[in-house]
Amino acid sequence: MKKLNIFLLDIKTQGKLAAATYIVALTFDMLELDIQSLDFFMGFLLAVSMSNLILLSYPLIEKKGVPQNWKTGTAMVATTMLIANLLETSGAMPGDDIAIFYLFFCIITMSYVSAADGVIPNVWRYITGIGAFGMTLILFENYLFSTETLGFLWFSYLPLTYGFGIGNYLAWNKYEE
């Protein structure tokens, strides 16, 4: 009988598992149940799964002719978002201060979904891209002008996050090495 080692799964299984974990942890986070130990655990899972999804995005699009530096870039973005999410989960940095990391993620996500044409199903690519664009506008406005006249765009968080998770899951579902 073969042993299951979750750290040595094939890349397709890792991608699907990271996407599924991300969606579950994200949903729990949005429910705001205020169960402190479970909140921390789910925040940790969200941080790790999001970072893993970002890190695994390069193998999805490497055959699309993206430059080799994207490989290093995805590792950098994955590390940045892991640290940002862990700081937020631990309460070491308030949400307003950490928003700059999410602005960075939104900008990178727009370039990722544009390169993922034919990899991520178009509907989920567009949903993610629209969400990332809306969040970029609101975060830029908040940083540049310290206002929230575009506050109605906060709904963009839902298409960005769920589009990113579901789109990546579907892309990994049809991935072939």
User: Tens of pLDDT along 117-167?
Assistant: 999 999 999 999 999 999 999 888 887 777 777 777 788 989 999 999 999
Residue 5 lies inside a defined structural domain of this protein: no
Residue 1 lies inside a defined structural domain of this protein: no
Q: What is the DSSP string of the chain?
A: -PPP-GGG--HHHHHHHHHHHHHHHHHHHHH----HHHHHHHHHHHHHHHHHHHHTHHHHHGGGT--THHHHHHHHHHHHHHHHHHHHHHTSS-HHHHHHHHHHHHHHHHHHHHHTBTTB-HHHHHHHHHHHHHHHHHHHHHHHHS--TTGGGGGGHHHHHHHHHHHHHHHHHT---
Q: Which domain holds residue 120?
A: 10-172
Provide CB contacts within 8 A for 150, sequence distance 6+: 137, 138, 141
What total of structural domains would you count in the chain?
A: 1
Residue of 54, 28, 30 lying closest to 41 (CA atoms): 28
Residue 53 lies inside a defined structural domain of this protein: yes
Q: Give the chain's residues under pLDDT 70.
A: 1-7, 95
pLDDT at residue 155, rounded to an integer: 86
pLDDT at residue 30, rounded to an integer: 84
- pTM (global) more than 0.85: yes
pLDDT at residue 140, rounded to an integer: 86
Residue 127 lies inside a defined structural domain of this protein: yes
pLDDT at residue 29, rounded to an integer: 84
Residue 89 lies inside a defined structural domain of this protein: yes
Residue 2 lies inside a defined structural domain of this protein: no
Residue 114 lies inside a defined structural domain of this protein: yes
pLDDT at residue 24, rounded to an integer: 94
pLDDT at residue 98, rounded to an integer: 85
Residue 26 lies inside a defined structural domain of this protein: yes
Provide CB contacts within 8 A for 151, sequence distance 6+: 138
pLDDT at residue 46, rounded to an integer: 93
pLDDT at residue 96, rounded to an integer: 73
pLDDT at residue 22, rounded to an integer: 95
pLDDT at residue 63, rounded to an integer: 86
